[in-house]
Structure 1
């Protein structure tokens, strides 16, 4: 038990502890300046918003100042009874100011919502575009769910800050300043009493914000884990795996444990600072009572303070309470969101390992014929691997335009790596990969990718119609072009037999289709793209004999007239290749035609004999 399921639990606990250690937000230089820069495309709207906010805040304070006039000049004038005409004028002015302030608030809310949501959208698209530029190795070492969490949870977590922070700081800041000025005008001594605790509260707020930032980083890390679990376990492949091994309860337990941790973190985040705000509320609410006491003491001591001044002061001080608490909440939210911004900019600061050279050229401008591929002493090792852990060693070969070149060898020999170096999915560690006579590092990568079609063992189809999956290769393709490509891939008659024809939805990853049907649609998609070079990565290895024969016919059609590099699982599929390279431990150890290699009696002959023995034993 200790070596089995219990060991898995221990590992899970260790991983969770490590995640908590790693949950601290990364340090990003000039983070505040970079956040402010996000708003630069919307400077005009922000300027208008700022004017509206200042006007709205100023108009909101004026009625409190009018209270003194209402009491001392209209309700209780020194000359006698209430001055009704003046009272009507003052009340009408106060109501007018309230209406104007409310109208400005509506307009200002629309502007801030517009700017904030656009900035959020810009940030999400910018992050998505940057991730699209990352090399294949980044995605092989990073969980898809973690990437999704950065895009959805982290960007979503800062959305409210981007939308509301500017106006909240400006509006509440103006209100606080205007209120303090008004309080000083009414009575500076009472103002000192009202603000004496503010420095202490600011210090406490900073400490609380630091705690919340740490909790926010842990919360987002937990959300990333939950997203990754969902993506892995609830995909079609994940459900099939858990069902076949009867691990549904185990997966549910993992999800429940992480959800429990997430709930705990959310509660901690919600409660952090609540005690602080309770203290702030008590202090600010108690200030008017203290003001009344001090006013009584001042009047007793002979200080001239009118009733209107006292009422006006407490009214203005009341206007100070909510903006001040709002500013402190914004300050806490900013400190909390800094952890999320840091996680977002951490991904934005990732440098793609494969980028175009400044003077990169189009494939059409390359010196050699399009379709010619050459490897010159190419070696490759994955990033972080040691010198002795290279996947390829001094690989050299030439594929002339229109040739069919095949690679055979045991699993892990390096065949797929060779294939993926041609379109720069990976970058050679040494040596040179040439396409059309130019080093691929000197070619614009979009142009290079447009010249190459890839059909892999694991076909990927979108959860969309067959038509939409085909149009991914050529969005402006006509119906005739679609059907011609599908006829070439020997799939048109199958599609026509479906009730919805080309509008048939294939399901998640194409699971509503058979393996052979998916592969032939993938081949049709490449035919529609019509590239001069075709890379086939064990495209028939997962199929039964009948499906393999049909798909192989489609591949033969697709390869006609194109330079084709094939990784073969079954020797029978590549006996007609112009050149066959045998790959062992990252090296090409034999090259020649099928007949030549058989006659040589080397590694290739042994592979053929081994497959024939397996075929006979399975009968």
Structure 2
């Protein structure tokens, strides 16, 4: 919350603060004005759990405003009453009041600010948690079409800016409005002609905010764009992958030239922004001097003609100094409030995104044992705003058997595997597990049944142990050791400096491709799901690594129902059924031997990849 009752005689800093806040809130309106009523209703739901703290903070705010408005009256009494009557006891009493009132006002402000920060940060934490939970529930398509930086911006930039919106845009506007109205009422009660002069002077304080606000905003936009380009350059050239490319190509000088250009652009835009701010400060301080000067001139005229006492003029000048910041801030109040609502609206827009893969309304329990396997029935699928990539696909992956998917690149194999994992739902048809549609199975129950190993192995920047236990945090040391042996990882664990407690680096950079694949296999073994979805890696490995991975895969696939995008000849040969995919259709199905007897696509792919003395011996060629 904003505690703005204590004015200052120098207004440059305050006025520039108002310009800065206007500039910030203007940026929130770039995507359009929010639906005010709708956003306010939703905002109230966020505030409701903290309404009593909110009310308490508002009362403290009002108390601080009242105490601030009493101080000029004490000055007036000292000059107009105590001094002329030489009443020292009144001077002491009023002087003590001038000490006590600011202290009490500061204490109220401290308590109010504490409550404000507590409420604002609690609301922000609640929104962040809602946002994180909701984004986790969204389908893969959201992450496919949304930039990672945009998602992070909602958490870091938008959510962090909410405190300023709550404390300055909303309560700050309320505080400023009450301060101005209260001061003007008191001034009018004392002397309405002088109050009228003060009221006429107030709009001049708002002029710099209105005039320089837009210019400062435009200058800041240029600076932010330059900083954005510099940030992108730094992100590209100072991360591990970028550094490797730069060093291997020897392009350090080229990148240094790029950096110098962007760095100079940032310097120039920031200098221009700073100069504009300095000019705004000059105008603000000039106007801050003109207002009191006019008031004192007219007040002196009235004092000379015995129309009002001197203390009243001094009190009016004190009120005018107090009113400077509220008047400046109210000039951009409309923009600030709309900008604040727009910021909340940006978060609500993400929270309003409907998950494409919806949770089961009445989830059905899965049987304890697998008896029916996984079945695709007349499945059609297309990505957003794209033509169908799967057409009327039907097959059954029987329990305990290996179903291999083969076909040219782009045929739809990876899409089939994604549908089997329920990362997407089919546009038409159904996919069932043990006779139950995947859409009727609770997500947690489904994940417990399925282990997934993909080509792109992602490891977290933490220890090898935590990466292995990621899908099975309750696994025992014996189970972990057995998975390490089955995945052929003993030698790796022994070689690492801290064994299982060695940090594997960003995306597992400290491990080779084959080692990362075996870590993924061990992770799937610990998962203990009766179903395995496997996308075999196509990368060429040395013969030793290939043998280790093959042994690990044989252990992983044992006694599991497996659907695999098969690239290794050994996997294809041992498959109980092979589905040949072309342009989203299953064009052939059967075993390795029966498909070779047909003069179809499988035979063509096999002859192109494996039907040579060299490739017959290779386990890393791709079908």
Give the TM interval when normalised to the shorter protein. 0.7 to 0.9
Between 121-130 and 204-213, report the one with greater CA deviation.
204-213
Q: Is the 8 A contact 1:485 1:528 kept in 2?
A: yes
Q: Is the 8 A contact 1:581 1:591 kept in 2?
A: yes
Per the TM alignment, residue 578 of structure 1 is displaced from its structure 2 partner at its CA by 0.7
Give 1:381's aligned residue. Answer: 382
Judge conservation of contact 2:162–2:343 (CA < 8 Å) in 1.
yes
Match of 1:29 in 2: 35
Matches of 2:150 and 2:234, distance apart in 1: 11
Q: Which residue does 1:454 correspond to in 2?
A: 452
1:40 CA drift (Å): 2.8
Taking the aligned partners of 1:601 and 1:411, their CA distance within structure 2 comes to: 20
Deviation at 1:110, TM superposition (A): 1.6
Q: 1:162 aligns with which of 155, 158, 166?
A: 166
Tell me, in whole angstroms, the C-alpha distance in 1 between the residues paired with 2:456 and 2:52: 50
Match of 1:553 in 2: 551
Tell me, yes or no, if the aligned pair for 2:412 and 2:584 is still in contact at 8 Å: yes
Is the alpha carbon distance of 1:264 and 1:583 closer, same or farther for their aligned partners in structure 2, counting shifts above 3 Å? farther
Instruction: Provide Cα deviations, 1:81-110, integer angstroms capped at 9, x if missing partner.
Output: x21112111111221112211222222222
CA pair 225-96 structure 1, distance change in 2 beyond 3 A? same
Structure 2: runs of 5 or more not aligned: 1-26, 619-623
Tell me, yes or no, if the aligned pair for 1:408 and 1:567 is still in contact at 8 Å. Answer: yes
Counterpart of 2:373? Answer: 372
Output the TM-score relative to the length of structure 1: 0.85
In the other structure, the counterpart of 1:69 is: 77
| Aligned position for 2:157 | 153
Equivalent residue of 1:154, what SS?
helix
**Within-5 A mapping of 1:209-248:** 234-245=238-249
| TM-score between both structures, scaled by the size of structure 2 | 0.84
Instruction: String of CA shifts for 1:515-574, please: whole Å, max 9, x gaps.
Output: 121111111111111112111112364533321221121111111111111101233332
Deviation at 1:307, TM superposition (A): 1.2
State whether residues 413 and 581 of structure 2, in contact with CA within 8 Å, keep that contact through their aligned partners in structure 1.
yes
1:48 to 53, 56, 61: 56
Question: How far apart, CA to CA, are the structure 1 residues paired with 2:351 and 2:469?
Answer: 31
* Structure 1 range deviating more: 335-344 or 190-199: 335-344
1:91 is matched with 95
| Cα separation, 2, equivalents of 1:578 and 1:344 | 50
Does 566-575 or 441-450 show the bigger shift? 441-450
After the TM superposition, which of the residue ranges 303-312 and 336-345 deviates more from structure 2? 336-345
Query: Residue 191 of structure 2 corresponds to which residue in structure 1?
Result: 187
> Which of these residues, 507, 516, 523, is aligned with residue 505 of structure 2?
507
Contact 2:39 2:345 in 1 (8 A): no
Structure-2 change in CA distance of 1:299 and 1:504 (3 Å): closer
Determine if the alignment matches structure 1 residue 323 to structure 2 residue 326: yes
Partner Cα distance (2:351, 2:269) in 1 = 26
In the other structure, the counterpart of 2:4 is none
Q: Distance in 1 between matches of 2:258 and 2:342?
A: 26
Aligned mates of 1:28, 1:420 — CA distance in 2:
37
Cα–Cα, structure 1 residues 199 and 316, in superposed 2: closer, same or farther, change >3 Å? closer
Structure 1 residue matching 2:366: 3-state secondary structure: helix
Change (3 A) 1:431 1:32: closer
| Counterpart for residue 15 of structure 1 | none
Question: Equivalent residue for 1:347?
Answer: 350
Matches of 2:146 and 2:81, distance apart in 1: 72
Q: Which has the higher contact order (CA 8 A, sep 6+)?
A: 2
Task: Work out the CA distance in 2 between the residues paired with 1:445 and 1:314.
Answer: 68
Residue 307 of structure 2 aligns with which residue? Answer: 304
Q: CA deviation at 1:596?
A: 1.4
Which piece of structure 1 moves more, 30-39 or 545-554?
30-39
Contact preservation (8 Å) 1:42, 1:115: yes
Q: Is the 8 A contact 1:462 1:510 kept in 2?
A: yes
**Which has the larger displacement, 454-463 or 605-614?**
605-614
Alignment check: 8 A CA contact 1:371 1:402 kept: no
* Partner Cα separation in structure 2 for residue 258 and residue 22 of structure 1: 26
Q: What residue in structure 2 maps to residue 568 of structure 1?
A: 566
The 1-side partners of 2:361 and 2:270 are apart by 47
Q: Partner residue of 1:59?
A: 67
Distance 1:582 1:337 in 2: 55
- Contact 1:406/1:580 (CA < 8 Å) preserved in 2? yes
1:363·1:370 contact (CA, 8 Å) conserved in 2? no
Tell which deviates more after alignment, 255-264 or 505-514.
Answer: 255-264
Does 1:100 find its partner at 2:104? yes
Quote how far apart the aligned CAs of 1:445 are: 2.8
Q: What is aligned with 2:526? A: 528
Q: Is the 8 A contact 1:150 1:224 kept in 2?
A: no
Question: Which residue pairs with 1:16 in the alignment?
Answer: none
- 1:108-148 CA distance string (max 9 Å, x none): 22221222222233333332222222211222223323322
Task: State whether structure 2 residue 493 is matched by structure 1 residue 485.
Answer: no
| Shift in CA distance, 102/267, structure 1 to aligned 2, threshold 3 Å | same
Q: 1:228 to 1:401 in 2, by over 3 A?
A: farther
Number of matched pairs: 589
554 and 384 in structure 1: CA distance in 2 versus 1, 3 angstrom threshold? same
Instruction: Say yes or no: does 1:121 pair with 2:115.
Output: no
Q: Which residue of 587, 600, 603 corresponds with 1:602?
A: 600
Deviation at 1:192, TM superposition (A): 1.0
Alignment-derived partner of residue 10 in structure 1:
none
Q: What is the match of residue 14 of structure 1?
A: none
The answer as to whether partners of 1:371 and 1:400 remain within 8 angstroms in 2 is yes
1:491 is displaced (CA, Å) by 1.3
Equivalent residue for 1:110, pick from 105, 108, 114: 114
Instruction: Report SS of the residue matched to 1:565.
Output: strand
Q: State the match for 1:7 in structure 2.
A: none
Q: 1:248 to 1:569 in 2, by over 3 A?
A: farther
CA contact (8 A) 1:50 1:170 kept: no
In the TM superposition, residue 24 of structure 1 has moved relative to its aligned partner by 3.2
- Which of 141, 147, 165 is equivalent to 1:143? 147
Judged with a 3 Å threshold, the aligned counterparts in structure 2 of structure 1 residues 198 and 150 are, in CA distance, closer, same or farther, namely same
Deviation at 1:375, TM superposition (A): 1.0
Q: Distance in 2 between matches of 1:23 and 1:325?
A: 21
In structure 1, what is the Cα distance between the partners aligned to 2:411 and 2:247?
33
Name the residue aligned to 1:4. none
For structure 1, list consecutive stretches of 5 or more residues without a partner in the other structure.
Answer: 1-20
